[in-house]
């Protein structure tokens, strides 16, 4: 259900690649209304249209053209009046800025990598693990906060891969081994990103830190949250209460010891990260090709069940043509909010292999953040 009154929202890094998608998605949103924009000191104090190199094919929304861009501080520019602030900040600065907003009781939905490993911060791909929102009250109580929290969405390539992997685990139980090779678009590196001299007529077989992120983020996202008994630090109180404390912890898929290896490449594509994925199941009786196709086709997420505004009708679109999915042809499906899957076939080394595609700036970044916020509103975490 939409909130009775639209919630004021802010965007940090509003001028950047991800920031521009935020602006586009939020300019006509049924739950949220754009209230505050932030970027670097280079842009602060000027209007949005004068400092932004707008790179989307749709025009810059009228409502932001004359809005003032502010420094990314919770005490300026009306950020303290926002119920939600989205962050598309460069990771060099995102860590401290996002913490300062959280301390000021402002919920932050971040695209940056800085807090993804934090044991109190949920790392949520909204088509997979929105149940991890349940860690937020613990984050707030340990930090003495009432409304503020940080919630991260995943690396763009991770996002594209975990949706089909979640569909396989939902139907056939834990995976044992996953091998991933990515072909990543240049917009993934922000603007201006990789030099044209480096990427034209070329493939660059290195993206700093990306392989490690895919490998551990997948474990946090696909793993569950477990309740762990901790000994109460205050022994007297412990004796008085006669019980230990229960805390929530991410299990990082440890129980099933999922092994993942990723290799990442930058290719001359504007938007859309493609991945070649091979998987091995834990169960002895392997599913058939038809069963795998059905697992992808029938996969639904909580975002779909809640029917939040940014949720796709289909989380996974299965392509039958042998030469699909392709970034240029398929990245716009479901307004960039789904994952395309195709070329499912048996693998001579592991069990099966397939290709998947995600729009790195939409589901891989801004759309996931907005969908996470919609789910958080629906579940009462944003007040």
Ligand X SMILES: NC(=O)C1=CN([C@@H]2O[C@H](COP(=O)(O)OP(=O)(O)OC[C@H]3O[C@@H](n4cnc5c(N)ncnc54)[C@H](OP(=O)(O)O)[C@@H]3O)[C@@H](O)[C@H]2O)C=CC1
For residues 33 and 82, what is the distance between their CA atoms, to the nearest angstrom? Answer: 9
Q: Residues 7, 10, 15, 367: which binds ligand X (CB under 6 A)? A: 15
Q: Residues 9, 23, 26, 43: which binds ligand X (CB under 6 A)? A: 43
What character string, x for contact with ligand PHD (CB under 6 A) and - otherwise, covers 143-182?
A: ------------xx--------------------------
Q: Does the protein bind ligand X through residue 10 (CB under 6 A)?
A: no
Q: Give me the helices (H) in the chain, please.
A: 17-26, 48-51, 62-65, 91-103, 136-143, 156-172, 196-199, 210-222, 235-241, 289-297, 302-306, 327-330, 367-378
Partners of residue 227 on adjacent β-strands: 248
Q: Which residues are catalytic?
A: 156, 273
Q: Does the protein bind ligand PHD through residue 184 (CB under 6 A)?
A: yes
CB atoms within 10 A of CB 311: 24
User: Closest distance between ligand PHD and the C-beta of residue 37, in Å?
Assistant: 20
CB atoms within 10 A of CB 186: 22
The set of residues, in sequence order, having a beta carbon less than 8 Å from that of 374 and lying 6+ positions away, is 31, 303, 306, 308, 309, 310, 311
For residues 166 and 90, what is the distance between their CA atoms, to the nearest angstrom? Answer: 29
Nearer to ligand PHD (CB atom), residue 145 or residue 358: 358
Q: Does the protein bind ligand PHD through residue 113 (CB under 6 A)?
A: yes
Sites for ligand X among residues 134-163 (CB under 6 A): 156
For residues 159 and 217, what is the distance between their CA atoms, to the nearest angstrom? Answer: 9
Q: Does the protein bind ligand PHD through residue 368 (CB under 6 A)?
A: no
Q: Residues 25, 101, 120, 210: which binds ligand PHD (CB under 6 A)? A: 210
| Residues lying near ligand X in the complex (CB under 6 A) | 13-19, 39-40, 42-43, 72, 88-91, 93-94, 111-113, 156, 187-188, 190-191, 360-361, 364-365
| Residues lying near ligand PHD in the complex (CB under 6 A) | 91, 111, 113, 155-156, 184, 188-189, 207, 210, 213, 360
């Amino acid at each position: 259900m939409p909130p009775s009154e639209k919630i004021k929202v802010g965007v940090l890094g509003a001028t950047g690649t991800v920031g521009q998608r935020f602006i586009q998605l939020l300019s006509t949103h049924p739950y949220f209304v754009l209230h505050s924009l932030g970027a670097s000191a280079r842009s602060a104090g000027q209007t949005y249209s004068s400092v932004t190199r707008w790179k989307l094919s749709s025009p810059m929304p009228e409502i932001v053209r004359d809005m003032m861009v502010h420094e990314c501080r919770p005490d300026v520019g009306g950020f303290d009046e926002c119920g939600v602030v989205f962050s598309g900040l460069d990771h060099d600065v995102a860590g401290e800025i996002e913490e300062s907003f959280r301390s000021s009781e402002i919920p932050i939905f971040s695209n940056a990598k800085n807090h993804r490993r934090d044991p109190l911060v949920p790392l949520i791909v909204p088509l997979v693990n929105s149940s991890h929102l349940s860690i937020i009250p613990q984050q707030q109580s340990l930090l003495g906060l009432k409304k503020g929290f940080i919630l991260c969405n995943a690396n763009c390539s991770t996002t594209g891969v975990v949706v089909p992997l979640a569909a396989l685990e939902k139907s056939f139980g834990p995976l044992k081994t996953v091998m991933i090779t990515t072909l990543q678009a240049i917009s993934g590196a922000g603007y201006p990103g990789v030099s044209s001299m480096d990427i034209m007529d070329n493939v660059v077989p290195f993206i700093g830190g990306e392989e490690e992120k895919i490998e551990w983020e997948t474990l946090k996202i696909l793993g569950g949250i477990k309740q762990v008994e901790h000994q109460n630090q205050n022994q007297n109180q412990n004796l008085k209460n006669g019980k230990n404390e229960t805390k929530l912890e991410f299990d990082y898929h440890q129980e099933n010891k999922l092994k993942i290896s990723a290799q990442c490449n930058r290719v001359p594509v504007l938007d859309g990260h493609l991945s070649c994925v091979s998987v091995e199941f834990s169960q002895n009786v392997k599913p058939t090709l038809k069963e795998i196709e059905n697992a992808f086709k029938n996969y639904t997420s909580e975002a779909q069940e809640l029917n939040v505004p940014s949720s796709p009708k289909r989380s996974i679109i299965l392509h039958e043509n042998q030469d699909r999915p392709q970034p240029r042809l398929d990245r716009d499906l479901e307004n960039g909010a789904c994952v395309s899957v195709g070329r499912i076939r048996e693998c001579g080394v592991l069990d099966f292999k397939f290709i998947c595609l995600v729009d790195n700036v939409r589901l891989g970044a801004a759309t996931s953040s907005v969908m996470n916020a919609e789910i958080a509103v629906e579940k009462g975490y944003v007040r």
